[in-house]
Amino acid sequence: MIFGRSRRGKPPVEPVTLKILVAGGFGVGKTTLVGAVSEIRPLRTEEVLTEAGRPVDDVSGVEQKHTTTVAMDFGRITLREDLVLYLFGTPGQERFWFMWDELSEGALGAVVLADTRRLEDCFAAVDYFERRSIPFVIGVNCFEGAARYPEETVRKALDLDADVPLVMCDARDRESVKDVIVGVVQHAMTQSAERRRAAP
């Protein structure tokens, strides 16, 4: 590009940008998921866990975790020249939840990552998106060594509505994460179309 114009002499296309949130409990793999699929080096706001944080940061089941997101993770995916997807990973600990309202502003939809060893850690995120009518999918991050359960068992444990998609995934694997992201976009589009049809 030269002086803001393409080589063909056409003005550059201003892309449409979409925002997807990645939420879930502490240590569930949100930072890993954003990093697996982002085309840019993700912006991360991770800090080392300290002794002072032990009373509030429950590392049960994720004892190997030494850092935590304190603001957000940010990644980008260019779907087409005129369509860009931004990923915002939310902090998992309760003391940072006040940031969710700001991050969710204008979001197309969300991924709620779940760990079957600590399913209760994603309840808050499920409740948050349900209350705000933000379309979301559940991504069950299949950790090595964790028990695998049938989809219907996980769905019942989370008390999900029948129309909420649930996808088994590996947050480290790009193709697996792409399937989850596609699921969010499709679900959000379906919800939007249904709202339009229902409008008087």
- Average the pLDDT over 88-93 and give the result: 78
Check residue 144 and give its pLDDT: 87
CB 88, CB 94: distance < 8 Å? no
Classify 185 as helix, strand or coil: helix
- Better-predicted residue by pLDDT, 52 or 75: 75
φ, ψ for residue 187, nearest 5 deg: -65, -45
Average pLDDT over residues 162-167: 95
Tokens coding 25: 């409990």
Instruction: Quote the CA–CA distance of 30 and 25 in Å, as a whole number.
Output: 9
Rounded Cα distance between 72 and 90, Å, is 5
Category of 180 on φ-ψ map: left (φ > 0), alpha (ψ -120 to 50) or beta: alpha
Per-residue pLDDT, 65: 44
- More confident of the two residues 81 and 152: 152
Distance of alpha carbon 76 from alpha carbon 42, whole angstroms: 8
- What average pLDDT does this structure show over 62-91? 76
68 has a pLDDT exceeding 90: no
Inter-residue contact 88 to 103 (CB < 8 Å):
yes
State mean pLDDT over 113-138: 94
pLDDT digits (tens, 9 = 90+) for 6-44: 455 666 778 899 999 999 988 899 999 999 999 988 776
Whats the size of the chain, residue-wise?
A: 200
Give me the mean pLDDT over the 159-188 stretch.
95
Which of the four pLDDT bands, split at 50, 70 and 90, describes residue 2?
very low
Residue 117 CA to residue 36 CA, distance in Å, equals 22
Kind of pairing between the strands at 83-89 and 109-114:
unpaired
pLDDT at 50 over 60: no
Q: How confident is the model at residue 177 (pLDDT cuts 50, 70, 90)?
A: very high
Conformation bin of residue 158: beta by default, left when phi > 0, alpha when psi is -120 to 50: alpha
pLDDT at 51: 53
